[in-house]
Structure 1
Amino acid sequence: MEITMKRTSIRAAVGLTAAMLIAGGSSAAQAASLVDISLWDNGATMPMAVGLAYATPSVDTAKATMGIKVSPPEVKAGKVTFNVTNGSKDRVHEMIVVYLANPSRQLPYINAQNRVDEDKAGDKGEVSDLKPGASGTLRVNLKAGKYLLICNQPGHYAAGMWTEFTVDP
């Protein structure tokens, strides 16, 4: 009888330990934060604004003729899934995630191409070349810090097509 009880107690302890490990493992493998991105513009007939790049002194984004809406604007560090939709009726857009090592500085820019230098800026992932009305998804693992979400089609970033995004610890 005593041997049977010891075996039962050991089995129960092993079962409890296994259950705790499984439960602990599931919290470590938490679901990704979901972020909805909407890429918009005022149409191809509207001239693109200029001089609205991030960290430009006295930038007035109210003059932007295109932009990026993000919801929510901040998430916890870890796995992040961006669901991106191009709401434009006639322009191709994209969404690129850039880590801001120094949030007070402008991103490196290639004037001849009218685009951000993605390699120097620190591209963390992107949903490229979305045709009007199209959608795409990006899954990335992000550390805590400030990020910029940009469209890097020629002229779009300088026209104000960027938004700040925060990843909390």
Structure 2
Amino acid sequence: MKTMSRIAALGLAAAMLMGSSAGVVQAASLVQVTLWDKGASTEMPMGLAYATPGLDLSKATMGIKAVPGAVKAGEVTFNVKNDSKDTVHEMIVMYLADPGKPLPYVEAENRVDEDKAGDKGEVSELDPGKSGTLTVELKAGKYLLICNVPGHFGAGMWAELTVDP
């Protein structure tokens, strides 16, 4: 009888542990983002925007590095650092409804149309050496992290981010 009670107690304890773990809150995913460039005196080549045919990012004189490049859906925190010595940058999270298509671009302003592109949040203009943080709720899909300071996106300042279910 004692053995049966002990087995039942162990089973009940295991069930309680399994049940209580369902209520555990999942921590936010963390993405480290670095905004970089080769200096303000370096000429910015254009034609390096996302989804440009024949894209050769080896010519980019500025960019965004995001680690990791994939996270789970839910709350995502971006720690953003502008590693430039002399140029202001920003980071904007854009949802890619159709990952094969370019973002809507305003040629006259040399920048992405943020309203049409689906801006999900941003760390606004960061002075050289400064940092900022953004936490947003993201659903599964493809996203693009961009700098939308005029000319920067077209010069290759973007990075892809995958959000898994």
Report TM bin, short chain: 0.7 to 0.9
Distance 1:31 1:21 in 2: 19
Distance 2:65 2:18 in 1: 41
SS in 2 for 1:120: helix
Q: Deviations over 1:73-100 (max 9, x none)?
A: 0001111000000000000000000000
Partner AA of 2:23 in structure 1: G
2:23 corresponds in structure 1 to 25
1:121 corresponds in structure 2 to 117
Distance 1:146 1:44 in 2: 31
Q: Which runs of 5+ in 2 are unaligned?
A: 1-11
Q: CA deviation at 1:31?
A: 0.7
- The answer to whether 1:153 aligns with 2:142 is no
1:39 corresponds in structure 2 to 35
Distance 2:49 2:34 in 1: 19
TM-score of the superposed pair, with normalisation by structure 1? 0.86
2:61 corresponds in structure 1 to 65
Q: How many matched pairs? A: 152
Distance 1:114 1:136 in 2: 24
SS in 1 for 2:108: coil
Distance 1:81 1:53 in 2: 25
2:139 corresponds in structure 1 to 143
SS in 1 for 2:33: strand
Distance 2:100 2:33 in 1: 24
Q: CA deviation at 1:23?
A: 3.8
TM-score of the superposed pair, with normalisation by structure 2? 0.88
- The answer to whether 1:75 aligns with 2:67 is no
- Residue correspondence of structure 1 range 103-114 to structure 2 within 5 A: 103-114=99-110
Distance 1:87 1:22 in 2: 43
- The answer to whether 1:164 aligns with 2:163 is no
Distance 1:128 1:48 in 2: 21
1:89 corresponds in structure 2 to 85
Q: Deviations over 1:115-137 (max 9, x none)?
A: 00000000001000000000000
SS in 2 for 1:112: helix
Q: Which runs of 5+ in 1 are unaligned?
A: 1-12
